[in-house]
Chains A and B, each alone.
Chain A
């Protein structure tokens, strides 16, 4: 036994590690301490669960690694352990890719293992739930182990993630539920906040099932809000006519990390036989929300086209200023103070020092500076001050005095 536990995947350890990050208890508790109201709302939103996997039960007991590992520790499980090990080893030697082929390899492996477990003497008298649990544990184990080989990481994926999150960060500045025609009676910021929080948790997990649960819980919160409203008001239930616009709004408010990559990952690696029915419907809605957001232009919203362009432009300036200020809200005083090298972190940098992720920052700084320069230049122009003249006196003795004289002359 000892030798096998040394050479085979250590499920106890993995199980404990995976479970210790158990999503349900930890996030709920942490949100309860910081946002007591949100916790209440969350409970209310989720209490009417019509989903067959209520959040509470998935928290502690599912999937149950103890049952799975206790079976695998028996000598009769050696063949299964061997298959698991050889799969993860051979997979991790491949180049990392979230490709259709790799998705298929994982899916085929899970299907083969499902057959093996179904026919295995160790599960001879097991219930459907016990076998299902074993497959869930297996998926969680291999996907946690192979996460770096499977999570989308190509330049194209990174580009799409960045493109979407930048677009959302602009839309966040001005989009209102009315722009998506969400009826007033459905506008409920508290429930939406709860739904958005669920989406934002998506990167806290590695297993496809756990990521998918974040999506389902988000949809679930919106779902229950709509059911509540249909019961307590005269608003006629309008199905996806109501649901999708709210999901789009919530997604924009949440700006979930790596949205494209996470959706791709779940679609490729969540066991396909589990990606059906309501679960598939939820995922499809979020994929279509993402697609819509990515393509939002002046004609997509209930908003005048010229207004849209203006708001987007302003949002760009605001974001540039914000990234320049190191995420602090811009305040007039700081804006006026341009001294201090630390505000220009690339001044000492060489081209070869720059990393891909610097481009974003650099571009933000550049845009901010250009916008600022254009305004200063315009201000000087309005004061009829010649820029070059001004610059020529800046370093000479009594330069400041001369400048003041010039400004005073012009002011008269």
Chain B
């Protein structure tokens, strides 16, 4: 169905993973609050967000699922990332432990998640250069070895935040073209739905 803007809307579930204190929510809030797409509403909940991005002639509507980063809730994560079209794994570049945790997430997604999920690694708090514990090279090498794309971000200064989501949107369109989305179903539910924008949540 046609959206008010005239082009197709693609719904994409994006899950956020990362340790407590890495700034997952701040990152998303920066993205959701900083964008404005005509006729499209965004959602700013406490833990659920949505935002639309126009990429060429397509519109991607991200449905962003935050997860609890505390270790004690780790085992619950599969319920959240099941069927996700994209995952952003966030670590705090001033905290080596959070990078180790991020690697755990990557491993888990590689073994438990869907091979079609687009994974992004975000080294957050890039504004705090003097406190850096993880070098960009180290993270970049790790990302390359594991087929993720990597960016250092700062929710505070907005560095790379929009670029990262834009890049995810572009990859989604490239990897999973609308026409073929039928054949790309993940788990028991398609990761992307082409819907009338007024239809959900009623």
Expressed in whole angstroms, the Cα–Cα distance for A285 and B26 within the complex equals 20
A277-B50 CB under 8 A given contacts A132-B202, A238-B25, A288-B76: yes
Q: Is the Cβ of B25 less than 8 Å from the Cβ of A52?
A: no
Interface residues of A in 225-239 (CB under 8 A from B): 226-227, 230, 236-239
**Residue A300 at the chain B interface, CB threshold 8 Å:** yes
Interface residues of A in 275-316 (CB under 8 A from B): 276-279, 281-282, 284-285, 287-288, 291-292, 295, 300-301
Distance of A50 from chain B, by nearest CB (Å):
6
**Residue A91 at the chain B interface, CB threshold 8 Å:** no
Q: Is the Cβ of A237 less than 8 Å from the Cβ of B26?
A: yes
Of A36-44, A159-167, A240-248, A391-399, the one contacting chain B is: A240-248
- Across-interface contacts of B70 in A (CB, < 8 A): 181, 241, 245
The contact of A239 among B25, B50, B75, by CB within 8 Å, is B25
Expressed in whole angstroms, the Cα–Cα distance for A245 and B20 within the complex equals 13
Q: Is the Cβ of B68 less than 8 Å from the Cβ of A277?
A: no
Distance of B95 from chain A, by nearest CB (Å):
15
**Residue A174 at the chain B interface, CB threshold 8 Å:** no
Distance of B190 from chain A, by nearest CB (Å):
10
- Residues of B in contact, count (CB < 8 Å): 36
Of B41-49, B51-59, B113-121, B130-138, the one contacting chain A is: B41-49
- Across-interface contacts of B25 in A (CB, < 8 A): 236-239, 241
Expressed in whole angstroms, the Cα–Cα distance for A223 and B11 within the complex equals 23
Interface residues on A, range: 35 or more
Q: Is the Cβ of B43 less than 8 Å from the Cβ of A50?
A: yes
**Residue A138 at the chain B interface, CB threshold 8 Å:** no
Expressed in whole angstroms, the Cα–Cα distance for A238 and B196 within the complex equals 31
- Across-interface contacts of B129 in A (CB, < 8 A): none
**Residue A328 at the chain B interface, CB threshold 8 Å:** no
Q: Is the Cβ of B29 less than 8 Å from the Cβ of A287?
A: no
Q: Is the Cβ of A132 less than 8 Å from the Cβ of B45?
A: no
Nearest residue (CB) in A for B23 is: A236
- Across-interface contacts of A341 in B (CB, < 8 A): none
A52-B202 CB under 8 A given contacts A244-B68, A291-B76: yes
- Across-interface contacts of B66 in A (CB, < 8 A): 239-241, 243
Expressed in whole angstroms, the Cα–Cα distance for A287 and B200 within the complex equals 21
**Residue A356 at the chain B interface, CB threshold 8 Å:** no
Q: Report B13-40 CB contacts with A as 1/0, cut-off 8 Å.
A: 0001000100011101100000000000
A239-B16 CB under 8 A given contacts A278-B45, A284-B79: yes
Distance of A32 from chain B, by nearest CB (Å):
26
A237-B29 CB under 8 A given contacts A51-B201, A277-B200, A288-B79: yes
**Residue B67 at the chain A interface, CB threshold 8 Å:** yes
Expressed in whole angstroms, the Cα–Cα distance for A210 and B16 within the complex equals 29
Expressed in whole angstroms, the Cα–Cα distance for A278 and B41 within the complex equals 14
**Residue B72 at the chain A interface, CB threshold 8 Å:** yes
Q: Is the Cβ of B63 less than 8 Å from the Cβ of A277?
A: yes
Q: Is the Cβ of B20 less than 8 Å from the Cβ of A238?
A: yes
- Across-interface contacts of A276 in B (CB, < 8 A): 11, 193, 200-201
Distance of B161 from chain A, by nearest CB (Å):
15
**Residue A128 at the chain B interface, CB threshold 8 Å:** yes
Q: Report B88-103 CB contacts with A as 1/0, cut-off 8 Å.
A: 0000000000000000
The contact of B24 among A239, A273, A295, by CB within 8 Å, is A239
Q: Is the Cβ of A287 less than 8 Å from the Cβ of B68?
A: no
**Residue A222 at the chain B interface, CB threshold 8 Å:** yes
Expressed in whole angstroms, the Cα–Cα distance for A272 and B66 within the complex equals 22
Expressed in whole angstroms, the Cα–Cα distance for A132 and B201 within the complex equals 12
Expressed in whole angstroms, the Cα–Cα distance for A181 and B70 within the complex equals 9
Q: Is the Cβ of A239 less than 8 Å from the Cβ of B201?
A: no
Q: Is the Cβ of B201 less than 8 Å from the Cβ of A237?
A: no
**Residue B165 at the chain A interface, CB threshold 8 Å:** no
**Residue A125 at the chain B interface, CB threshold 8 Å:** no
- Across-interface contacts of A288 in B (CB, < 8 A): 73, 76, 79-80
Nearest residue (CB) in B for A209 is: B202
Q: Is the Cβ of A243 less than 8 Å from the Cβ of B198?
A: no
- Across-interface contacts of B196 in A (CB, < 8 A): 128
**Residue B199 at the chain A interface, CB threshold 8 Å:** yes
**Residue A351 at the chain B interface, CB threshold 8 Å:** no
**Residue B65 at the chain A interface, CB threshold 8 Å:** yes
Chain B interfacial positions (CB closer than 8 Å to A): 11, 16, 20, 24-26, 28-29, 43-48, 50, 63, 65-70, 72-73, 75-76, 79-80, 189, 193, 196, 198-202
Q: 25 A-B residue contacts at CB 8 Å?
A: A50-B45, A51-B201, A52-B201, A223-B45, A226-B47, A236-B26, A239-B47, A240-B67, A241-B24, A241-B70, A243-B46, A276-B193, A277-B11, A277-B50, A277-B200, A277-B201, A278-B48, A278-B63, A279-B201, A281-B47, A281-B65, A288-B73, A288-B80, A292-B72, A292-B73
Identify 17 new A-B residue pairs, CB closer than 8 A, beyond the known A50-B45, A53-B201, A239-B24.
A132-B199, A181-B70, A223-B45, A237-B46, A239-B47, A240-B67, A240-B68, A241-B70, A242-B46, A274-B202, A278-B63, A279-B200, A281-B63, A288-B79, A292-B72, A292-B73, A292-B76
Chain A interfacial positions (CB closer than 8 Å to B): 50-53, 128, 132, 181, 222-223, 226-227, 230, 236-245, 272-274, 276-279, 281-282, 284-285, 287-288, 291-292, 295, 300-301
